[in-house]
Structures are given as C-alpha cells and as structure tokens.
Amino acid sequence: RFVGYVRRAELEELISTLALVRGENEVVTLDDLNPITDSMVMRMVPDAPLSQAHQVFKQLGCQRIFVVGHVPGGQKDVLRGILTKKNFLKFLQEGQVGHMPDQSEDP
C-alpha cells in the first residue's frame, strides 16, 4: 500500500543513524520510516487525463504526481509510477504528449 515518499537525503541520514545504533545489517522498518515519510502527496489514477496532470503542475506547483491504482487480484493503492514536472514539461516541449500515431502505418 502506497503511503507516501521519503526524500533521499532523509533516507540516507536515517540509514546512517540506524547503522550506528543497530548495526549495518539491520532492517529498516516502516516504524523507522513513518516520521520522515511525506504522506501529503498528489495522487492520480493511471487513466487520469494528461490535462489534469498539467493543471496540477501549473496551479498547485507540485513537482511530482504519484500514479496510484489497483492491480489485478484486488490490491489497492499500489504505486504504478511517478510523473515528474520536469519530465512532463520535456514531453510537452517535444510534442510527445497525447496520442502518438503508430509508426508502422502509412501516412
């Protein structure tokens, strides 16, 4: 179940601290991660329109949208992907957003 994300610097600091306290081969638990997990993230379902993602980036100033959905078998809130503002804008500039024609078809 997707609950949020942890920034790399915070995760590295946590791992270093736990390695000193517990030893290097100990497992990091969810309880260890909870204090540094950002659960206030923007989520979208996989079939959300790209125009909605554009509005989120433009109006809310988000840097990432977490694509969360279910998988066959009933598991809900599974992270299916991450859409970053940087990659989204790159694809917009390159004209690669939206329906792409099949390259094998004749014009």
Alpha carbons 29 and 21: distance in angstroms, whole number: 14
Alpha carbons 69 and 94: distance in angstroms, whole number: 28
Q: Is 83 exposed, middle or buried (0-12, 13-18, 19+ CB in 10 A)?
A: buried
pLDDT of residue 25: 81
Average pLDDT per consecutive 10 residues, the chain (107 residues; last block may be shorter)? 89 92 85 91 90 90 90 82 91 69 52
Is 57 in contact with 83 (CB distance < 8 Å)? no
- pTM (2 decimals)? 0.71
pLDDT of residue 76: 81
The β-bridge relationship of strands 78-84 and 43-44 is: unpaired
- The Cβ-side half-sphere exposure at 1, using a 13 Å CA radius, reads 5
- From residue 45, alpha-carbon distances to 18, 49, 83, 96 in Å are 35, 9, 11, 20
